[in-house]
């Protein structure tokens, strides 16, 4: 991939609410997108609906085709899905969007013993994969509205270059990507999702989000 080329984005669980919303936004902006599913036929059908050149494949095929992999599956299937795509992820960036919600109490913070979904992903994938953690606080409905989601996206990684690449991708589908530091800090955004769910319920709004103040509006990194 040359520097001027856009990376191929492979979205694992790309048939879901979050994955398909991200796919739509990136594809509309000219990024090559492959959505993955446990069923290639299901992914191909949704890809045709999404248009903008989106392709569908099974999850392993989507990971293989990707320069940057986005993991958008429920936390209950996080570890098993990572095991399935681990070989294809080596040498690549993997963006983990999974929030470790524990139904039915999804408006209560219940982080895993290992700290966060992102830390678990890095441990399972090994050092050959640059794990970035992002999109936990973006309501999928905002992505499906068309246009950019009205919120900032906090982006975490131990690898600055990978983090910066995902900050740019976040700014394509939402107001702005904002670096939040190392992967360990992902726990804060993962926990914040339960707070936002609680706010949605309490104030009867569909999509509370995060906006970082004190930054110039044009800040991207």
Ligand X SMILES: NC(=O)c1ccc[n+]([C@@H]2O[C@H](COP(=O)([O-])OP(=O)(O)OC[C@H]3O[C@@H](n4cnc5c(N)ncnc54)[C@H](OP(=O)(O)O)[C@@H]3O)[C@@H](O)[C@H]2O)c1
* 26 counts as binding ligand X under rule CB under 6 A: no
* 135 counts as binding ligand X under rule CB under 6 A: yes
Candidates 50, 63, 68, 138; binder of ligand X (CB under 6 A) is 138
Q: Which is nearer to ligand X, 101 or 129 (by Cβ)?
A: 101
State which of positions 86-115 bind ligand X (CB under 6 A): 97-99, 101
**How would you list the strands of the sheet with 93-96, edge to edge?**
55-58, 33-37, 9-12, 68-71, 93-96, 130-134, 149-157, 174-181
Looking at 2-10, 120-128, 137-145, 155-163, which segment touches ligand X (CB under 6 A)? 137-145
Contact (CB, 8 A) for 170 and 176 = yes
Contact (CB, 8 A) for 207 and 142 = yes
* 116 counts as binding ligand X under rule CB under 6 A: no
Question: Within a 10 A sphere around the Cβ of 2, how many other Cβ atoms?
Answer: 4
Please report which residue ranges of 58-180 form alpha helices under DSSP H: 59-65, 78-89, 117-125, 140-144, 160-173
* 16 counts as binding ligand X under rule CB under 6 A: yes
Contact (CB, 8 A) for 13 and 19 = yes
* 61 counts as binding ligand X under rule CB under 6 A: no
User: Tokens at residue 39, please?
Assistant: 């069923």
Spell out the residues 6+ positions from residue 18 whose beta carbon is closer than 8 angstroms to its own. Answer: 72, 97, 135, 138, 140, 143
- Give the interface size with ligand X as a residue count (CB under 6 A): 25
Contact (CB, 8 A) for 132 and 166 = yes
Alpha-carbon distance of 158 to 214, in angstroms, equals 24
* 186 counts as binding ligand X under rule CB under 6 A: no
Report in angstroms how near the CB of residue 101 gets to ligand X at its nearest.
6
Candidates 9, 10, 11, 18; binder of ligand X (CB under 6 A) is 18
Candidates 15, 116, 165, 186; binder of ligand X (CB under 6 A) is 15
Q: Which is nearer to ligand X, 129 or 196 (by Cβ)?
A: 196
Report in angstroms how near the CB of residue 53 gets to ligand X at its nearest.
20
* 159 counts as binding ligand X under rule CB under 6 A: no
Q: Which residues bind ligand X (CB under 6 A)?
A: 13, 15-19, 37-39, 42, 72-75, 77, 81, 97-99, 101, 135-136, 138-140
């Amino acid at each position: 991939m040359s520097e001027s080329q856009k990376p191929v984005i492979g979205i694992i669980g790309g048939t879901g609410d979050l994955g398909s919303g991200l796919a739509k936004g990136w594809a509309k902006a000219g990024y090559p997108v492959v959505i993955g599913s446990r069923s290639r036929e299901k992914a191909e059908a949704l890809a045709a609906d999404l248009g903008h050149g989106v392709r569908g494949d099974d999850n392993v095929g989507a990971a293989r085709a990707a320069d940057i992999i986005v993991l958008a599956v429920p936390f209950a299937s996080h570890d098993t899905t990572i095991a399935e795509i681990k070989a294809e992820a080596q040498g690549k960036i993997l963006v983990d969007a999974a929030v470790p919600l524990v139904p039915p109490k999804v408006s209560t913070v219940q982080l895993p013993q290992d700290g966060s979904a992102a830390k678990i992903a890095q441990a399972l994938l090994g050092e050959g994969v640059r794990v970035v953690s992002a999109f936990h606080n973006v309501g999928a409905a905002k992505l499906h509205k068309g246009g950019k989601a009205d919120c900032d996206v906090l982006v975490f990684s131990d690898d600055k270059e990978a983090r910066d690449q995902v900050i740019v991708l976040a700014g394509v589908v939402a107001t702005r990507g904002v670096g939040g530091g190392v992967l360990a800090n992902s726990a804060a955004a993962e926990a914040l999702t339960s707070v936002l769910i609680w706010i949605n319920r309490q104030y009867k709004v569909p999509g509370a989000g995060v906006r970082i103040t004190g930054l110039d509006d044009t800040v991207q990194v």
